[in-house]
Amino acid sequence: MPYRPTERTEARRVAARGVIVDAATELVAHGGYREAQVAAVARRAGVATGTVYRHFPSKADLLVEVFRRAARREVDAVASATAGREDARDALAEAVRTFARRALRSRRLAWALLAEPVDPAVEAERLAFRRAYAAVFAATIRDGIARGQLPAQDAGLTATALVGAVGEALVDWVAPASPTTPARDAGALLQGLVTFCLRATTDQEHDADVHHHAA
Amino acid sequence: MPYRPTERTEARRVAARGVIVDAATELVAHGGYREAQVAAVARRAGVATGTVYRHFPSKADLLVEVFRRAARREVDAVASATAGREDARDALAEAVRTFARRALRSRRLAWALLAEPVDPAVEAERLAFRRAYAAVFAATIRDGIARGQLPAQDAGLTATALVGAVGEALVDWVAPASPTTPARDAGALLQGLVTFCLRATTDQEHDADVHHHAA
């Protein structure tokens, strides 16, 4: 389908932005925000520094876009992990595992998303990112309540608390300054987080009943 | 006891710093970091702008000190709330209530401590603040395990997750941009957080047993 000239121009603009954002994201994933200086981003993207500034008036504008795209990928991955699961507890466990596994696989990027000190404009995106995660957890909890798999609770509060809990535990693992003791066991972390989150969402009386009937 | 000249000078220096930090803290508690401009701090402290700079070479240095002192007060309050309690579950509940009540009482300051976008130098203090909170929770959990009141668990992981959970839930309440729906019930928030945290620290099998024996 042939583009009209303005469409063609717009498509080119979007593609050029994408190349710049990808280059900046790779730099952030390697060494954090300070590696994504405009000159370095331009070099990696194979464009002139002026081109970067034409698309992003300031470095903060560029980093906001880097953050948004990377954050959306993470939230989408967690949402996919919960999709189509019959049991809300399975869905929650898989959401937590996906959140944590992805962070442990790309620690430097996870640090940038979760906690790396950064320009206030990017900080503001971090709050939106955490709310998007919480919305995924809240939807799963609401499904579980509706299906009788989870006890009645304030799904929004539980979801927000879960995102805080998992995020905070991961920060300790992905912080570049963290002591990298070889004794740390990622499997135990995943299991510990899943256990924590399932306990926190499940009424103990309710659960005691389930165990009682099963026994 | 008479001071020697150097001691007197040092005491005066410490007192002058204190007045400046107090003035800056009041401004932050009122309107966040951006209200604590050096000129405004000097005016409120009743000193010359140059005096502020003599004690704090940059605004970031001043805000780091404001953050540290305010954070220490919060952590101390939570630690006091847990002190001398026989039951670890009571101690945890009281720690969570204290953390949350103090934040709800000074929302603007809590926002500044927990999440307000700010200079990276202050951000770094925030991580230390969250670790200090986690250390208080971890000590309580370890006590509870030693006394047989809580099941064996990775106390450090649970503590970190609890601080994340409570902090994240409070952010939603103290954020200045939050919709202030009058329907929000602080009592329900406190109760919800305590329930979440006690569930998350307690083994359900263990708890089921307790209920079983009690029945």
Which CATH number characterizes residue B22's domain? 1.10.10
A104 touching B (Cβ < 8 Å):
no
| Cβ contact B80:B149 at 8 Å | no
**Residue at which a domain ends, from B13, B29, B57:** B57
Kindly report the average pLDDT of chain B as a whole number. Answer: 89
B185 touching A (Cβ < 8 Å):
no
A169 touching B (Cβ < 8 Å):
yes
Do A194 and A126 lie in one domain? The reply is: yes
Through-space distance between the first and last CA atoms of chain B, rounded to whole angstroms:
65
pLDDT digits (tens, 9 = 90+) for A174-207: 988 765 554 578 999 999 999 999 999 886 544 4
Which residue of chain B has the CA closest to A123?
B117
Do B81 and B46 lie in one domain? The reply is: no
Distance from CA of A154 to the nearest CA of B (A): 8
Which residue of chain B has the CA closest to A130?
B168
pLDDT bucket at B172, cuts 50 / 70 / 90: confident
| Cβ contact A159:A134 at 8 Å | yes
Distance from CA of A86 to the nearest CA of B (A): 23
- Residue B14: which domain range? 1-57
Distance from CA of A116 to the nearest CA of B (A): 8
Least trusted range by pLDDT, from B8-17, B20-29, B180-189:
B180-189
Task: Write down the pLDDT at residue B1.
Answer: 60
pLDDT digits (tens, 9 = 90+) for A38-48: 999 999 999 99
Supply A204's token pair.
């103990």
Supply A183's token pair.
């004794």
Task: Write down the pLDDT at residue A3.
Answer: 64
pLDDT bucket at B2, cuts 50 / 70 / 90: low
Cα separations (Å) of B44 from A119, A133, B23, B47, B48?
28, 41, 6, 8, 10
Place of tokens 């006690």: B198
Please report residues of B whose CB lies closer than 8 A to that of A197.
200
d(CA B67, CA B73): 10
- Who among A163, A192, A201 is closest to B168 (CB)? A163
B82 touching A (Cβ < 8 Å):
no
A202 touching B (Cβ < 8 Å):
yes
What CATH number is given to the structural domain containing A149? 1.10.357.10
Please report residues of B whose CB lies closer than 8 A to that of A189.
157
Contact A157 B189 (CB under 8 A): yes
Contact A202 B200 (CB under 8 A): no
Could you give the dihedral angle defined by the CA atoms of residues B170, B171, B174 and B178, in that order, rounded to the nearest 10 degrees? -120
| Cβ contact B95:B137 at 8 Å | yes
B118 touching A (Cβ < 8 Å):
yes
d(CA B120, CA A50): 27
Place of tokens 């400046």: B20
Do B46 and B90 lie in one domain? The reply is: no
Task: Write down the pLDDT at residue B184.
Answer: 73
Distance from CA of B125 to the nearest CA of A (A): 10
Do B109 and B165 lie in one domain? The reply is: yes
Do A68 and A53 lie in one domain? The reply is: no
Do A8 and A84 lie in one domain? The reply is: no
Do B9 and B113 lie in one domain? The reply is: no
For A110, the 3-state DSSP assignment is: helix
Do A124 and A147 lie in one domain? The reply is: yes
Task: Write down the pLDDT at residue A212.
Answer: 38
Instruction: Please count the structural domains in chain A.
Output: 2
Place of tokens 């959401």: A95
DSSP 8-state symbol, B36: -
d(CA A136, CA B154): 27
Mean pLDDT value of segment B168-192? 81
Do A37 and A78 lie in one domain? The reply is: no
Residue B142 pLDDT greater than 60, yes or no: yes
Task: Write down the pLDDT at residue B204.
Answer: 54
| Cβ contact B30:B108 at 8 Å | yes
- Amino acid (1-letter code) at residue B126: R
Closest CA to A66 of A75, A56, A53, A51: A56
A153 touching B (Cβ < 8 Å):
yes
Place of tokens 């009424």: A203
- Amino acid (1-letter code) at residue A13: R
Contact B192 A154 (CB under 8 A): yes
ipTM reported for the complex surpasses 0.90: no
Contact A127 B193 (CB under 8 A): no
Residues 6+ apart with CB under 8 A from B145: B88, B151, B152, B153, B155
Residues 6+ apart with CB under 8 A from A81: A91, A94, A95, A97, A98
Substitution target from A157, A185, A191, A201 for chain B, most B beta carbons within 10 A: A157
Do A86 and A146 lie in one domain? The reply is: yes
Contact A202 B207 (CB under 8 A): no
Residue B61 pLDDT greater than 80, yes or no: yes
Which residue of chain A has the CA closest to B154?
A192
Do B43 and B113 lie in one domain? The reply is: no
B154 touching A (Cβ < 8 Å):
yes
Please report residues of B whose CB lies closer than 8 A to that of A196.
157-158, 161, 200
Distance from CA of A187 to the nearest CA of B (A): 13
Distance from CA of B97 to the nearest CA of A (A): 15
Please report residues of B whose CB lies closer than 8 A to that of A171.
127, 130, 164
Mean pLDDT value of segment B86-91? 95
Do B186 and B134 lie in one domain? The reply is: yes
**Residue at which a domain ends, from B57, B76, B104:** B57
Contact B192 A157 (CB under 8 A): yes
Please identify every stretch of chain A with a pLDDT value under 70, giving residue numbers as ranges: 1-3, 178-183, 203-215
d(CA A153, CA B145): 28
Residues 6+ apart with CB under 8 A from A103: A110, A114, A170, A173, A174
Closest CA to B158 of A188, A98, A90: A188
Share of chain A above pLDDT 70, in %: 89
**Residue at which a domain ends, from A38, A57, A76:** A57
B192 touching A (Cβ < 8 Å):
yes
